Amino acid sequence: MKKGLLQRLDEGVVIGDGGFVFALEKRGYVKAGPWTPEATVQYPDAVRGLHREFLRAGADVMQAFTFYASDDKLSNRGNKSSAKYTCRGINDAACRLAREVAEEGDGLVAGGLSQTPTYLSGMSKADTQKEFQKQVDVFVENKVDFLIAEYFEHVEEMVWAIEVCRKSGLPVVASMCIGPDGDLHGITAGECAVQMAKAGAHVVGINCHFDPFITLEGLRKMKAALDAAGLKVHLIAQPLAFHTPDAQKQGFIDLPEFPFGLEPRICTRWDMHRYAREAYDLGVRYIGGCCGFEAYHIRAVAEELAKERGKLPAGSEKHEQWAGGLKMHTKPWVRARASRQYWENLCPSSGRPFSAAMSKPDAWGVTAGDSSLKQKTTATTEEELTSLVKPGKVANG
Ligand SMILES: N[C@@H](CCSCCCCC(=O)O)C(=O)O
Ligand SMILES: [Zn+2]
């Protein structure tokens, strides 16, 4: 009998998986823009393969690929996935694929919810919770091990999702895509954590939008508020694998490089050693990644915490600790780099002599209820597009 999520967190570290939509988009199985997971029905081998990459890298959790798989999102702005594959079909296939791979190791399966166009359109709590319920029903039927409600930028919608999840009787993980400055309605990060815990989440924290180190700044604020309120919950961190020191409240989607020019910002595996250690020392026990996290990033997290976990991940078979494998290189100057001291102290160049170190976020400042966020099923028109581009606006200009 596998240990459940909460028992594992009470006993030690649970390692999460990485960023599915970003990784599958680069492999040609997800369309950037909608970012919806119809690939669970269209290309099951691709989804199964990515789960296997993260399992081999040391992930304890296979998050079913159900991100943005609410019915309203699957029929938003010209998306035909709901009509073609159905919300139930996509979520059901995702749960089966995650379970299949989880059974190849000691993995747990999580059913995932995320923010909805219904909420962004300013519609009611009942309408929003109806969208969540459609997914949770499928997760319960598939006997997932726990539920994760992630990628929420308004704590109001987050709490509505937690309420639906709690009715299942399963452990609930709640994770907001906010930074140290709090949510998009001006609620502080600490207050968001307190509201998530009071709504009944067993694990609370942050995912996406910000790099590992800004994410930990936000988690420090959450931890302080939870301690002050006497609330005992576990903490989760699943940040970006992109450096975002220039991001404001809206996170990386507000940067001109999002989503097709982020490569210069990618974190190294050595950044991930530092992230895992700092997260662990802060008391975070659910440590994973979001957009940009590939298997080698998760492997670095698992390697940094190998002593605490009492094991190395299978993928370390091909990765001696701290670049030890370079001792087998033919060139002596590369062999000279086979040390922790060398890589821990390297500050890598970007290789782009004309790159600015930082960009200017768009900072439109619109959020839930604004007319530009209203749900529409028809595709964006050319007129709408031209009205959106600010005259004379050039990327990081
Ligand atoms: N668990 C999910 C989280 C995705 S966070 C997606 C960020 C991009 C969303 C957007 O641009 O609308 C995943 O691994 O893909
Ligand atoms: Zn993400």
- Closest ligand 1 atom number to CA of residue 18: 14
* 157: its two tokens: 């919608």
Give per-residue burial for 165-191: e unless 16+ CB within 10 Å, then b. bbebebbbbbbbbbbbbbbbeebbbbb
Helix (H) or strand (E) holding 207: strand 203-207
Cα–ligand 1 centroid distance for 328 (angstroms): 38
Chain segment 120-152, per-residue pLDDT in tens:
999 999 999 999 999 999 999 999 999 999 999
Per the CB < 8 A criterion, the answer to whether 39 and 85 are in contact is no
CA angle 269–293–220, rounded 5-degree value: 85
Cα–ligand 1 centroid distance for 19 (angstroms): 7
- Closest ligand 1 atom number to CA of residue 24: 15
**Minimal CA–CA distance to 113: which of 172, 70, 62?**
70
Say what the pLDDT of residue 100 is: 98
| Calpha distance 70→113 (Å, rounded) | 8
Cα–ligand 2 centroid distance for 330 (angstroms): 39
Give me the residue label for tokens 């890298």: 57
pLDDT tens across the length of the chain (397 residues): 899 999 999 999 999 999 999 999 999 999 999 999 999 999 999 999 999 999 999 999 999 999 999 999 999 999 999 999 999 999 999 999 999 999 999 999 999 999 999 999 999 999 999 999 999 999 999 999 999 999 999 999 999 999 999 999 999 999 999 999 999 999 999 999 999 999 999 999 999 999 999 999 999 999 999 999 999 999 999 999 999 999 999 999 999 999 999 999 999 999 999 999 999 999 999 999 999 999 999 999 999 999 999 999 999 999 999 999 999 999 999 999 999 999 999 999 999 999 999 999 999 888 888 888 988 899 999 999 999 987 666 666 5
Question: Which 8-state DSSP code applies to residue 279?
Answer: H
- Closest ligand 1 atom number to CA of residue 293: 14
Ligand 1 mutation target, pool 67, 113, 257, 298, most atoms within 8 A of CB? 67
Strands 234-238 and 61-63, by their bridges, are unpaired
ipTM over 0.95: yes
Give per-residue burial for 364-385: e unless 16+ CB within 10 Å, then b. eeebbeeeeeebeeeeeeeeee
* 215: its two tokens: 């994410």
Per the CB < 8 A criterion, the answer to whether 152 and 158 are in contact is yes
For residue 288, the ligand closest to its alpha carbon is 1
Cα–ligand 1 centroid distance for 227 (angstroms): 29
CA angle 155–161–163, rounded 5-degree value: 105
Per the CB < 8 A criterion, the answer to whether 299 and 316 are in contact is yes
Ligand 1 mutation target, pool 21, 97, 206, 262, most atoms within 8 A of CB? 21
Cα–ligand 1 centroid distance for 291 (angstroms): 6
Nearest residue (CA) to ligand 1, atom 9? 35
- Ligand 1 surroundings by CB, under 6 angstroms: 19-21, 35, 63, 67, 150-151, 208, 253, 290-291
For residue 208, the ligand closest to its alpha carbon is 2
Cα–ligand 2 centroid distance for 291 (angstroms): 4
| Calpha distance 189→223 (Å, rounded) | 10
DSSP of 155-186? HHHHHHHHHHHHTTTS-EEEEE--BTTB-TTS
Say what the pLDDT of residue 241 is: 99
Per the CB < 8 A criterion, the answer to whether 274 and 284 are in contact is no
DSSP of 47-72? HHHHHHHHHHHT-SEEE-S-TT-STT
Task: Say whether pTM exceeds 0.90.
Answer: yes
Say what the pLDDT of residue 148 is: 98
- The overall average pLDDT reported for the chain is 96
